[in-house]
Amino acid sequence: MSITAEALETAAPPVTAITTRAAVCRGPGEPWEVTELELDPPGPNEIRVKVIAAGMCHSDDHIQKGDAPMRMPVVGGHEGAGIVDAVGPGVTRAKLGDHVVFSFIPACGKCRYCSTGHQNLCDAGKNAATGEFPDGTFRFHKDGEDFGGLCVLGTFSQYTVVSEYSVVPIPDDIPFEVACLVGCAVPTGWGTAVHAAGVRAGETVVIYGAGGVGSNAVQGASLAGAQRVVVVDPVEFKRTMALEHFGATHAFATAEEAHAFIVDATWGELADHAIITVSALHDEVIHNAINIVGKCGQVTITAVGNGWIEENPGMLIGFQRRIQGAIFGGCNPLFDVPRLLSMYKNGHLKLDELVTNTYRLETVNEGYQDMLDGKNIRGVVLLEH
């Protein structure tokens, strides 16, 4: 069969491997290092994205510090937004030129969990700690070495190749630097309050830690109609932002001050919810959270770290308290990401206020130091092209 000149003109050019600059971590405790990597073309059901903005979540810092184990070397970043740059065979979720947000847990839409309203628990998310694709291969390479992507994403890179299950298309008019946060911080925080805790109108909620995730738990609790949204954070800037922008009604520097306030304000009934979104989970904050909720109260844990639940079960039995873990805020990314962006466009959800400072790949280490120094609600890396 002969190929016509017209068919040749309209045929898509072959997608080849490219090079990309990325911030990588080579081992626990090693700083982020900017290097050039080879990036494979997208395979079947894979998408290459030109990353425009990437959020700096505390979880990447846990992995870089070695608090949370992950196969190394790894390209950092699991919050991101960009433009579809190439598609592999069989892709249906997005097309060339689409704007997308990465979902830090993929959503296949078909597994038991996706099909029962728990996309945050999708079976396709099982490789988050290795960064490898389901067939055991990697897309980033350098000098014969394979580099994983954090959450099989790696958004601290000019370009990345991901499963189509890991993207959610978004409208073109959403700024990338806020869109990127709707891949983790925003749904994780908002969903921790709204889905995992299930905050309801009139309730009293105490949120420990008002950073990138916690600020959105504050917004979620407030939008759910809580009468008291009480923040505990040692950093004055975080408390001020929570009170002035995100809907907190009260803010305290210490758990003791918050406890005294809750006892007094609730006439001794205590809080309905405690939400833990501190930098690193620890025993004391779990203990404080259990003690600040009253009868039928719930403690919802989203922070990760080395904290242990060391409590007499009587503390749970007597007041019928519950402890609930949450990943991705119990969200369904294919539903929640567009909904949260719609709420942003309608002025209900504050996203611009979350972005405190922007960085380049070369300043990722400074950005994480700023986060640890309490300077940022969220730092965002703007990728240069």
Ligand X SMILES: NC(=O)c1ccc[n+]([C@@H]2O[C@H](COP(=O)([O-])OP(=O)(O)OC[C@H]3O[C@@H](n4cnc5c(N)ncnc54)[C@H](O)[C@@H]3O)[C@@H](O)[C@H]2O)c1
Least distance from ligand X to the Cβ atom of residue 30, Å: 19
Q: How far apart, in whole angstroms, are the C-alpha atoms of residue 17 and residue 76?
A: 20
Q: Is 111 a residue that touches Zn ion (CB under 5 A)?
A: yes
Contacts for 341-349 with beta carbons within 8 Å, 24 or more apart?
Answer: 341/170, 341/171, 341/174, 341/179, 341/182, 343/223, 344/174, 344/178, 344/182, 345/174, 348/223, 349/186, 349/190, 349/219, 349/223
Could you tell me the CA-to-CA distances from 264 to 80, 89, 268, 271 in Å, in that order?
43, 62, 6, 11
Least distance from Zn ion to the Cβ atom of residue 30, Å: 20
Query: Between residue 167 and residue 226, which ones bind Zn ion under the rule CB under 5 A?
Result: 184
| 86 or 213: CB nearest ligand X | 213
| Chosen residue from 279, 291, 298, 332 binding ligand X by CB under 6 A | 279
Q: Which of 303, 102, 289 is nearest to 188 (CA)?
A: 303
Q: Which stretch binds ligand X (CB under 6 A): 21-29, 222-230, 303-311, 332-340?
A: 303-311
Q: Is 59 a residue that touches Zn ion (CB under 5 A)?
A: yes
| 106 or 297: CB nearest Zn ion | 106
111 binds, options Zn ion, ligand X, none, Cβ within 5 to 8 A by partner type? Zn ion
| Chosen residue from 93, 228, 238, 350 binding ligand X by CB under 6 A | 238
277 binds, options Zn ion, ligand X, none, Cβ within 5 to 8 A by partner type? ligand X
Q: Is 15 a residue that touches ligand X (CB under 6 A)?
A: no
290 binds, options Zn ion, ligand X, none, Cβ within 5 to 8 A by partner type? none
| 122 or 229: CB nearest Zn ion | 122
Q: How far apart, in whole angstroms, are the C-alpha atoms of residue 203 and residue 180?
A: 31
Q: Is 377 a residue that touches Zn ion (CB under 5 A)?
A: no
With CB under 6 A, what is the number of residues at the site for ligand X?
A: 33
Instruction: Please identify which residue in the block is written with the tokens 């790894």.
Output: 74
Q: How far apart, in whole angstroms, are the C-alpha atoms of residue 192 and residue 186?
A: 10
Q: What is the DSSP string of 261-291?
A: HHHHHTTT--EEEEEE--SSB-HHHHHHHHH
From residue 165 to residue 184, the character string flagging contacts with ligand X as x (rule: CB under 6 A) and all else as - is -------------------x
Q: Which of 269, 321, 277 is nearest to 299 (CA)?
A: 321
The pair of structure tokens assigned to 332 is 């369904």
Which residues of the chain form contacts with ligand X (CB under 6 A)? 57-59, 62, 184-185, 188, 208-214, 232-235, 238, 277-280, 285, 302-305, 326-328, 371, 374
Which residues of the chain form contacts with Zn ion (CB under 5 A)? 57, 59, 108, 111, 114, 122, 184
